Structure 1
Amino acid sequence: MLTNLEVNDFAIVSALNIEWHAGMTAITGETGAGKSIAIDALSLCLGERADPAAVRPSADKAQISAHFDISQLPIAQQFLSEHMLNNDDEDCILRRVISKTGRSKSYINGISVTASQLRELGQYLISIHGQHAHQLLLKPEHQLHLLDSYAGHTPLINAVRTQYIHFNKLQREHSELLKQQHAQAARQQLLEYQVAELNEFAIAQDEYEAIEVEHSKLSNSQTIIETCQRELQHLYERDEQTVLSQLQQSVQQFVDLTGYDQALEPIAQMLDEAAVQVEEACRELRSYSENIEQDPMRLQDVESRLSQAMDLSRKHHIKPQELYEFHQQLCDELQSISSDSARIDDLEIEIADSLHAYQVAARSLSDSRCKAAAKLNALISQSMYSLSMDNGRFSIELQQVPQQKPNSSGFDNIEFLVSTNPGQPLQPLGKVASGGELSRISLAIQVIIAQRVTTPTLIFDEVDVGISGPTASQVGKLLRQLGDSTQVICVTHLPQVACSGHQQQFVAKTVKNGQTFTSMEALEHSKRIAEIARLIGGNKISDTTKASAEELLLVQSA
């Protein structure tokens, strides 16, 4: 629960340090004194959006600190532990600093955090019910939220949301692939033609270079043969002196000379090796000449192949050497488009399965809502009776619409129906209830739902607008009863509600040296009587109003 709130340089507050206690705390004060300012400051401390205009005009920054006892709140302890924000004590300190420049800093137990982390932790600590809650009551999405809060079926809500997210993801993928498919239809047709043409040509990797080499050999085969035979004669085979015979003679001459000078021996060896190499080359050349063939038919085939390769390369604006890689790229692209088509078929099956899973989850959620609605109808109708709507009836109408487009909250349409007079049929809340009745119904719902949630601190900020007389007395008793099990903080202008508090805080506004200051004071008994008397009779407090205040305090706190 909330144990302390410290506010510095926030709006018209210079400095406030407020101790909070268990039970119900009523906050009262004159109109315009800033009764809700502590609630506004606390909202900032819980991660609400920071407004630099909230910084007191004479200050550079506003600072709010809230202390909580979380010894009985394991979910908050778990959050702190998971985020390594816990300390050795059983309390938790939230702090928010807002500068005039608009920048803000957030802290949990002295450790810097994001505002979203403050909000996440804050939902386990405090639930704030604002003065405009009765207006939200007319919105279907808020009605559904209230019903779900009462039912407490979070796992079912999460299951529907999970199935919806999965269904939506598949739908988006299917839509994108269909768009791509339509855009690629002409491209696919062209690819199919090009790939078929290249498949028919079926060029192999590095084939163009190989047939270029073969074409060169075949087209010059006559020259090769004649040259080989002529050079073989010159090197080795003719009767007169050949290159080999001349080398052999030179070898012999230098061998003879080594008898005069050994320095010539290496030259003789090199010439001898050269003669051996020439002789070996001649044997290879004879073998090559005997096996080389002229093949006009093969030459024709090769020339045709080269010509086709050149034609295809010009057609696709690439080099002939690049035909093989280009063919593979086109095949891959066509395969990708074909795979998209297959994926579309698979997706349609997956979407149907996902929709079925969503509908199963949504139906389970809807069944749970129906059960919770039946209980909530009876409780709210009973509460309406206690809030001076003796003939009031309340009903939650749920309509399952499985055929509507899936959404994250299921397929239920909801409407709050009410009847406030005998013989009057149930009709939509906004058409029947007056402003005061709407406020009472809203408060009844908030109190009932608050009893079902585990938030240790509930704040009601002027939720009793439009209520007076015996109804106000009953509202006060309801809030006090709630305060017996939960910390309740209520900003009110009604004496009946103020008297119901286990304790009371008074907000006052003063002006000093042209500056406005707001203060908050915990009222002891005599001052509390005086403040309740003011609420009853205005600024002129008489013995009669004091007596009435004392009597009212005795009745409401009984």
Structure 2
Amino acid sequence: MLTSLAIRNVVLIEALDLEFGAGLSVLTGETGAGKSILLDSLGLALGARADSGLVRAGEAQASVVASFDPPAVDHRATALLIENGIDIEPGEPLLIRRLVKADGGSRAFVNDQPCSAALLRDLGGSLVEIHGQHDDRGLLNPRGHRALLDSYGRCEAGAIAAAHGAWRAATTALAEARTIVANAARDRDYLTHAVEELRKFAPEAGEEATLAEERATMQKGARLTDDLSAVSDCLTGSDGGLAQLRQAARRLDRIAGEEPLLTAVLEALDRAVVEAGEAEDRLAEAAEALSFDPARLDAIETRLFDLRGLARKHQVAPDDLAALRDEMAAKLAAIEGGEEHIAALEKDVAAKAAAYRAAAQALSAERQLAAGRLDAAVAGELAPLKLDAARFRTVVAPLDEGQWSAQGMDRVEFEISTNPGAPFAPLAKIASGGELSRFILALKVALAERGGADTLIFDEIDRGVGGAVADAIGERLARLAQSNQILVVTHSPQVAARGAGHMLIAKSSDGTVTRTGVHALSDAERREEIARMLSGAEITAEARAQAERLLEA
């Protein structure tokens, strides 16, 4: 619900702060007082095109701030804010601010966060509908008619949405399977050769690193073999260093007792024999570790060369060859079992399509019944609104299969015929603004609480009518105001008397500056304003008495 509107420097409005309540609020005033400026200001906040001509003369910019009650969690406005990353504080009002510069350009903010004009239009359309001279095409847009009819008729669309999703998923799976089989069949010969080659070669993940490490070890052994052999010759054998040490130790052992100093020499020589023996053992172990088989080295180098060659051929890493083999084998298997798989998917698609059609046909039948009830409800509202020659109908027509969706296979549109014998046409093509507003009112009353914005604004809905028709308009506006916030710009005293609140729009001038202002009327002021609307410039006692009777009624 719209709670307040703050306007600064818009045409004749210098500064204006308005508060709005629930129910029916009426705005009256002399022709030319500035009612259109007020609606233009609100339209600006709701995403209308920003025109620099709206900026008051001599000012740098104009601004409008509209405040709304916090939208409910399931309200479309809440979904729009979440989708566009606009922060929502629980319990805090929704603030929309629009700035227009005198030199062109505009800026928009929602809860003090910048937003696009497109978001502002969507958000404004979910919060307020304006009907009349400034109609924003709320109910006139056929894209929303199907949802309104479903809401009115309580047509449950959940089952058809699920059926449509299942059908589309099955269709996608079939298309993907056909693409895979077609591509695989085209490459059958290549796949057959490649899979056979890879199976025969039998690559393994990690094989390249293992082979390269083994080859490096063998190459190192080949490089050190001569040196190890020479070292071994120096140590081992009958003439080797270790044999010479042992022989020296034996001779020294026989004469060590002759001289104390020789005992120390013998001990040192024994230690040298032990160390040399350990060195001989380590040398043997190293020789064994670095030993290699030339045939094995040749086989490793050949395998490594072929492995890397296959990887280059298939443009993958050597470690990915095994996975590539399995992938290609799966494609071959898909060719062999593809037709059977596709046949099963085709049956699934047919079954899902049949389920969707059944659900869509059931929904279409519900919509047809709801359309009949809605047509009758609107027809009952037309005669009292001086539209007794007009006819209204809800068209529920089948769509082409390519247009079927999660909302069904129907096109829904509201149409009218304004005169006997005249063809039916869309609501938007009606000629008279007053007739259009009354049609919208009749439709809104028939739809009651079924969808739409919470705030409705009717601009001069009573134009060109009076008496009983004006009274019927006022009665229906009051009835509609039981479930919606209604603002109506009116010249009809019968409509004005129905309001829960009454604002007077007036223009004033001090000789140099002209301003438009809005004043909330007290009960006494309200009686006087309705009397003025009844009698004109000179308010008579009879007009005051009639105004009193209208207010009491």
Above 0.5 in TM-score? yes
Per-residue CA shift, 1:241-275, capped at 9, x if unaligned? 55553231133356566941665456313432255
Counterpart in the other structure of 2:24: 24
How far is the alpha carbon of 1:519 from its aligned partner? 0.6
Say which of 244, 248, 270 aligns to 1:250: 248
8 Å CA contact 1:447, 1:478 repeated in 2: yes
Counterpart in the other structure of 2:269: 268
Per-residue CA shift, 1:385-437, capped at 9, x if unaligned? 22234354433232345844332432112344555666x49744569965465
Which ranges in structure 2 are unaligned for 5 or more consecutive residues? Answer: none
1:529 aligns with 2:531: yes
- Rounded Cα–Cα distance in structure 1 between residues aligned with 2:66 and 2:170: 46
Give the partner amino acid of 1:330: L
- Rounded Cα–Cα distance in structure 2 between residues aligned with 1:282 and 1:143: 95
8 Å CA contact 1:399, 1:413 repeated in 2: yes
- Rounded Cα–Cα distance in structure 2 between residues aligned with 1:52 and 1:340: 63
- Rounded Cα–Cα distance in structure 2 between residues aligned with 1:293 and 1:2: 91
**Bigger shift: 491-500 or 113-122?**
113-122
- Rounded Cα–Cα distance in structure 2 between residues aligned with 1:135 and 1:286: 94
8 Å CA contact 2:249, 2:269 repeated in 1: yes
- Rounded Cα–Cα distance in structure 1 between residues aligned with 2:504 and 2:287: 123
- Rounded Cα–Cα distance in structure 1 between residues aligned with 2:397 and 2:321: 59
Counterpart in the other structure of 1:327: 321
Per-residue CA shift, 1:334-371, capped at 9, x if unaligned? 47878999999698777667656655654454344233
Distance verdict in 2 for CA 1:133–1:63, change over 3 Å: closer
Give the partner amino acid of 1:148: D
1:106 aligns with 2:110: yes
- Rounded Cα–Cα distance in structure 2 between residues aligned with 1:497 and 1:22: 17
1:411 aligns with 2:409: yes
Per-residue CA shift, 1:31-53, capped at 9, x if unaligned? 454314444545666x6479484
How far is the alpha carbon of 1:497 from its aligned partner? 3.7
Per-residue CA shift, 1:525-551, capped at 9, x if unaligned? 1233224444xxxxxx3568x857964
Give the partner amino acid of 2:305: M
Distance verdict in 2 for CA 1:307–1:17, change over 3 Å: closer
How far is the alpha carbon of 1:199 from its aligned partner? 1.9
- Rounded Cα–Cα distance in structure 1 between residues aligned with 2:279 and 2:348: 78
Distance verdict in 2 for CA 1:318–1:496, change over 3 Å: same
Map 1:1-20 onto structure 2 (within 5 A).
4-20=4-20
- Rounded Cα–Cα distance in structure 1 between residues aligned with 2:493 and 2:285: 124
Q: TM-score, normalised by structure 1?
A: 0.68
- Rounded Cα–Cα distance in structure 2 between residues aligned with 1:265 and 1:313: 61
Say which of 387, 393, 396 aligns to 2:394: 396
Q: Give percent identity, aligned residues only.
A: 27
8 Å CA contact 2:130, 2:136 repeated in 1: no
- Rounded Cα–Cα distance in structure 1 between residues aligned with 2:288 and 2:22: 113
Map 1:181-200 onto structure 2 (within 5 A).
190=190, 193-200=193-200
- Rounded Cα–Cα distance in structure 1 between residues aligned with 2:88 and 2:499: 37
Counterpart in the other structure of 2:89: 85
Q: Secondary structure at the match of 1:378?
A: helix
Distance verdict in 2 for CA 1:62–1:415, change over 3 Å: closer
8 Å CA contact 2:195, 2:329 repeated in 1: no
1:375 aligns with 2:373: yes
Which ranges in structure 1 are unaligned for 5 or more consecutive residues? Answer: 535-540
Distance verdict in 2 for CA 1:128–1:377, change over 3 Å: same
Q: TM-score, normalised by structure 2?
A: 0.68
Give the partner amino acid of 2:528: S
Per-residue CA shift, 1:447-473, capped at 9, x if unaligned? 322454597643223445565675444
Q: Secondary structure at the match of 2:34?
A: coil
- Rounded Cα–Cα distance in structure 1 between residues aligned with 2:281 and 2:550: 131
Say which of 146, 149, 157 aligns to 1:147: 149
8 Å CA contact 1:477, 1:556 repeated in 2: no
Counterpart in the other structure of 1:488: 486
How far is the alpha carbon of 1:151 from its aligned partner? 3.3
- Rounded Cα–Cα distance in structure 2 between residues aligned with 1:339 and 1:517: 83
Give the partner amino acid of 2:89: L
Map 1:283-298 onto structure 2 (within 5 A).
none
How far is the alpha carbon of 1:6 from its aligned partner? 3.9
Q: Secondary structure at the match of 1:25?
A: strand
Give the partner amino acid of 1:530: R
Counterpart in the other structure of 1:443: 441
8 Å CA contact 1:35, 1:507 repeated in 2: yes
- Rounded Cα–Cα distance in structure 2 between residues aligned with 1:285 and 1:442: 100
- Rounded Cα–Cα distance in structure 2 between residues aligned with 1:213 and 1:38: 88
